[in-house]
Amino acid sequence: MKLSIATDTLKASVHCAAVKDVRYYLNGVLFDTTAGTSTLRVVSTDGTVLSLFTQALPDHPDPIEIIVPTEIIKQACTLHKKSPMIEFTMDNDRYTLGGIEFTPIDGKYPQYARVIPGRDVITQDNNGTQYNPDLLVRAKKALDSFYGAGKKGFNYRLDHNAAGGPGVMHKGEPTALVCVMPCRAEDYSYSGY
């Protein structure tokens, strides 16, 4: 199997991936084509922020669910920084990304689709939900990388789950979104002097 993946998609995905997490399967980026369509989903998370970038594929690929180590993605993006696409190949037990051979992370990636709220529960009224500003900055950096926004960047919308669940930062199209988990009440409550 051979897939061409947008370099900007890969660059964007590393902003939300875990670094040296004990949950070793989070130290990589998921390539998923199991959705039953001609779509590649590139997913990364560290448990507090989750990115999902989708890319249409020219044909219906075999279903894959592979966790690519984050370091391999960074190396491939550095090696091919001027190229718009990076090639991923899978042949039996041999995997390469941008010509770099790697061993996928052995593990089961979290069920990321369960974190993303459906459109029917999204509201612009946040009902007092608070988000860590550092996570919002990471979410914006991931989206800026995906859209190739450079230094100037774009403005994104932050929708909220009415029940206080994750916020969804996006630009209004389904190809890129970042979910940010809310702060717990004890993280931002005022306890007096």
What fold is seen in the domain 2-109? DNA Polymerase III; Chain A, domain 2 (3.10.150)
What pLDDT, on a 0 to 100 scale, did the predictor assign at position 24? Answer: 85
What pLDDT, on a 0 to 100 scale, did the predictor assign at position 187? Answer: 54
**Interval 163-179 mean pLDDT:** 83
Structural contact between residues 55 and 5, judged by C-beta atoms closer than 8 angstroms: yes
**Interval 10-37 mean pLDDT:** 87
For residue 190, what pLDDT band results from cuts at 50, 70 and 90? very low
**Interval 85-100 mean pLDDT:** 92
**Domain-wise residue ranges, the chain:** 2-109, 117-182
Average pLDDT, the chain: 84
What pLDDT, on a 0 to 100 scale, did the predictor assign at position 23? Answer: 87
CA–CA distance, 77 with 99 (Å, rounded to integer): 11
